[in-house]
Every structure is written in structure tokens, then in C-alpha cells.
Amino acid sequence: MISAASKALSQQGQTYHTDVLVIGAGLAGLHYCFQLLEHAPQTKITLVNKTSFGECNSQYAQGGIATALAPEDSIDSHIQDTLKAGDGLCFKDSVDALIQQAPRAIEELEAYNFRFDQHEDKSNYVLGQEGGHSHRRILHSGDKTGFTMLSALLHQLQQTDGITCLEHHIAINLITQYHPHQTHHQGEVLGAYLLDNQSQLIHTYLAKTVILATGGAGKTFRYTSNSMVATGDGVAMAYRAGARVGNMEFYQFHPTLLYHPKHQHFLISEAVRGEGGILKNADTLAPFMQNYAPEAKDLATRDVVARAIFNEMEASDSPYVLLDITHQPKAFLEKRFPNIYNTLQSLGIDMSQDLIPVVPAAHYQCGGVLSTAHGETDLERLYAIGEVAFTGLHGANRLASNSLLESVVMASNAAKHSMQYLNKPIRPRQAIPAWNSPNEINVRRASQINAHWRSLRGEMMSYAGIIRTEAGLHDLLSLILKRKQIIEDYYWTHAISMDFIELRNIILNAELIVRAAFRRKESRGGHFRDDYKHKAPHAEESIARLNAPEIPFFS
């Protein structure tokens, strides 16, 4: 405990060299490591996670992974459903490339001794149904697919040599050098500065290639299904280093987060609606999705369902709507949704008899760091994989259960593609300095500035959430820029902590989301403008680059 208002703190650490620096230890980061070692077993990998291993968005994925396996289904049908959900903004080449690799992704996952649910005779997988899919094609492991999958990969990690694991380390910034005459890449990434959260030392890690697998930024919003580590670190670092980001306005809101004070981040899987769950108005108990999506009803795409719920909440002045699955037998619910059933039971809700209060929540970042299907970004030696990446797979709205698929396929692709740098040592044009920041930490001031987080998340939910307006976005941007200046002033004049690094990243993500939402004067996918309710005639992705004359050597 620091009792004084200020305390001197030296943060300069050591310099380390590694072949590959992987930032983020969720599904994408772990799978990348194993795939790379399979092709290049002598590679030295440093794997970084800012909390304990296992805490990431991947472990909270309930529904499963989408793959066309049923006899009546096809890869082309999966592609068409993905394009339809993306509402005109998918990159067709990326969709084709990533969806076609789905069968191979399943094989790679099962190589970790992970098994998807199968019928009792073991003849076929049990396939779930989710919104936006024209067929049952969701492979799952109960209703804890992400947790079970991640557990298998973490077990594999314990048995794997060649990976240096750094828990409780957070990346602060990428180390870059600028290419003044190169046209293909904006610059080159040489490593990153990492804060050891326990010693508070900031180390310099130099690497032949850096992999961003940092996930999304759900903590930018008040209501989120995300882990509390989802603070948009990868997007913020890449953007500050000069990489382009895109489609930041398309933040997908999952329609059904449990509304309960004891479980503020617990998701009620879309698979519950896939098994017949019906959304009802909290006041009248009347089903309402037929009023918004007469054909798909409760299995419409997430953007449609989330807006419908938002409208019903406004109309009834209720903070939630209700999800009814009571027509299914208790035995079926216990078997199909054991985690959801038991969690609700512990809160006094019997889903076989009681209606479940739910609310929309920030769930998935459809945009991110602009990258190819194999993770290559604008910056040489820098890759982005999984949710942090913007490949164009999701367009304006992600199709349910395409996220785990994207993580696995991109990780595998990036492992092969990034091997080109293993025999190309980095060549800095000048000495890379150790971290050198002011060594004074003002505990009271840092606490005051961190309080901005609470206000920001509520404002983002109100002004830049499910329904947006120009006036609201203008007001919000003004507030964000004022807060950003306060945060930046402290950052450049004081020693920093993990909380402060996350806050700095969150405020930048918020700015990028709001600026993109302000520029898109139409309603499309996960972006709805109450003052521009219709789609523009020509859909265009929104891509932005840091407005700087050149990228500094280090930032």
C-alpha cells in the first residue's frame, strides 16, 4: 500500500531477444504458437498475457464454431450466410479464404485431444442452430465451448518446450522504425515494451516478428460480455505505430447478456434461441421479434435482435427484456446448457420454469487492425490475428460462431506466413533505447484520472451503443478528447501502471469508434444512426491511419 500521494519509481528494466513475440494468450495466440513450432520447432517464442493464462475472451465463448458439415449444408451456403450478415461490407476474398479452411480448423483443434459433442452412437457431431445461419452448423462442447477448448490448449502449453510464458505482463507500445521510401509497408516493427505488473519494471523485447492476438475492446462499454482484460490494447498499439485500422464503428452487441447484479458479464448463449427460446416484452410478456424480423424472428442476425430489444426496453421503460425457454423439458436444458442452467439456478432462476432477464451488451469488435487472411498488416514483421484483426470476414456484422473459426484459421495461416522472418534478423538503424519515463507516480492523481473509465463506459453505451445520432456522437467526441488530453498529460509526465495503460488504450479505441460512427451517415449492420436510418447506395469500409507526418522510431 502506498500511503503518500507521490512516490519515486524506477521502471527501466532489461532488454531481451526472442524470435517471435506473441502478445495475447487466447485461442488465436496459443494456436499460433503450436502451429509455428510444428513447422519450425527450434523457434524461440515469447508468449505474453497481461493476467494469468486462461483469462481472455476465448474462454467465455459459449456457442461454438461454425462449420458446414450437415449433408444438406455446404461451404458455399456458409459463405452466403456470412456475406448476408455482413450487410454489404464483407471482403469476399477473405470470406472465401477463411470459411473454406473451416474443416481443416476442426482437425487442428481435435489434435489437442479436444472433442466436440457427438450423438450417442458417435456417428456425427451434434450441430447447433444460431441466428443468421440457414442450417444447423455450430459444433460445440456443451455451452462452454471456449472454456473447454482453451483448457485443452493450456494443457498442451504445459507440455510444449520452446515457449517462454510471461504472465502478468502488458505491452505498452510497439517499437518501430520508419521506411521513408518503401511502398508496401508503412514501417517495420522491431519488438515491444512490456510492463511487468508485479515488479513494475518496463522491459524491452526485440523480436523478428510480433503477433498481436489481444482480442477485442468490450470494456469500452458499460455492458459487455467480454473479459475485463478486453481493453483494445492491440488496436491502440498498432494505430499509434502507424498501422491502418478499419470498420471501428461496427461493434457487435450480443442481444442476450444476463441482467443480474451478481453476474454482470454472463452471456446467455444465442444457442438458447437456436433451441426455441423466445424473446418477450418485460411488461406485457408478449413476443416481439415477429414485429422486427417476420421471417427469422428470434433467430435474426444479432444487429437486428439487439436493436429490437433496445426498442422494447425504451418503449416499456424496463432495463431488460425476457427470454422464455420454458417449453423445453428440464432434462434437455440441463444436458444442452449445463453451465447456463447451473449458473441461473445458483441465482434462483430455473430456466425450465422462469423467464430469463436479458439485455444487449458489447460483444465483438467487427473491425480492428487492417490485415490479410494470414494476418499481415501495414507494418513489416507485424501480424494481427483473431478479434483484433480486420480482415473483412465480418463486414458490418459478424455471423454467430464465426469468431472462433477466424481465430483458428488466421493463427494457422499466420504461422506459415510469418516463418519468412525467422531467418531475417532485425537491423535497427540506431540504438534502441531502454524505456525512459519520469519516475514519479502520483497515486492520488492516477486514481482520479482512472475514474474517467466509469463515466466513459456509460457514455459510450448511451451515445455510441446500439442507436446513435450526430448530436450525441459530437458531444461524446468532445468529452473523449478532453479526457484523452488529461490522460496523455499524465502518461508523459509520470510512471505508469497496468490500469493506466489500459485506460489510455480504451480512450483511443473510443475515439476511433466515435469518429468512424460520425463519418458513416447511414445505418448498416451493427451501426445504426437514428438520423440516417437507411443504407447509403454504395457500401464502403471505413479505414483510418494515424494522422502523422511520419512514424517515430519508438513511441
Just list the catalytic residues: 302
Which phi and psi (to 5°) does residue 203 adopt?
-100, 155
Contacts of 165 (CB under 8 A, 6+ apart): 25, 47, 49, 53, 157
Q: 366 with 524: CB under 8 angstroms?
A: no
Listed residue (203, 216, 326) closest to 275, CA to CA = 326
User: DSSP class of residue 226?
Assistant: S
The whole-angstrom separation of Cα 518 and Cα 352 is 44
User: DSSP class of residue 274?
Assistant: H
Contacts of 319 (CB under 8 A, 6+ apart): 259, 313, 359
Bridge-based pairing state of the strands 245-246 and 379-380? unpaired
Q: Take residue 550 and report the three cell numbers written for it.
A: 511520419
Q: Where in 355-408 does DSSP place strands (E)?
A: 356-365, 368-370, 379-380, 382-384, 389-390
Q: 61 with 26: CB under 8 angstroms?
A: no
Listed residue (167, 175, 231, 169) closest to 200, CA to CA = 169
Q: Take residue 205 and report the three cell numbers written for it.
A: 523485447
Q: Take residue 425 and report the three cell numbers written for it.
A: 534478423
The whole-angstrom separation of Cα 333 and Cα 341 is 7
Q: Where in 414-502 does DSSP place strands (E)?
A: 440-442
The whole-angstrom separation of Cα 196 and Cα 496 is 11
User: DSSP class of residue 349?
Assistant: -
